[in-house]
Amino acid sequence: MNKARRTSAENKFGWETMAERLVDRQSPKFQTLLEQGDQYTRLIEELSDLIKLRTTPTGSRLSAAWTMTVDHIFVTCGCLLG
């Protein structure tokens, strides 16, 4: 998000705005990056539930959260760096 900011005072903007600033809208990577916004939201919700013990942190839940995290990082970095 820091790379997408236009000024240091710009704190809040959506995932789509960030994607537009970092990837050409005509690129196939743009749609993939937009889809990662939904993945990011689900990931934050899942990690929040686990950390705040709203749900019982079983091994399979932790494993799934780890897999979601690695997948999100891999796909997002692939869009931005590849």
- Residue 74, pLDDT score: 97
Residue 56 lies in a domain: yes
- Residue 35, pLDDT score: 95
- Residue 54, pLDDT score: 83
CA–CA distance, 58 with 25 (Å, rounded to integer): 40
CA–CA distance, 45 with 27 (Å, rounded to integer): 29
Pick from 80, 53, 14: which is nearest to 72 by CA?
Answer: 80
Residue 66 lies in a domain: yes
CA–CA distance, 32 with 71 (Å, rounded to integer): 13
- Residue 53, pLDDT score: 84
Residue 52 DSSP code: T
Number of domains in the chain: 1
- Residue 79, pLDDT score: 93
Residues in the chain where the model's pLDDT stays below 70: 1-10
Containing structural domain, residue 47: 28-82
- Residue 7, pLDDT score: 66
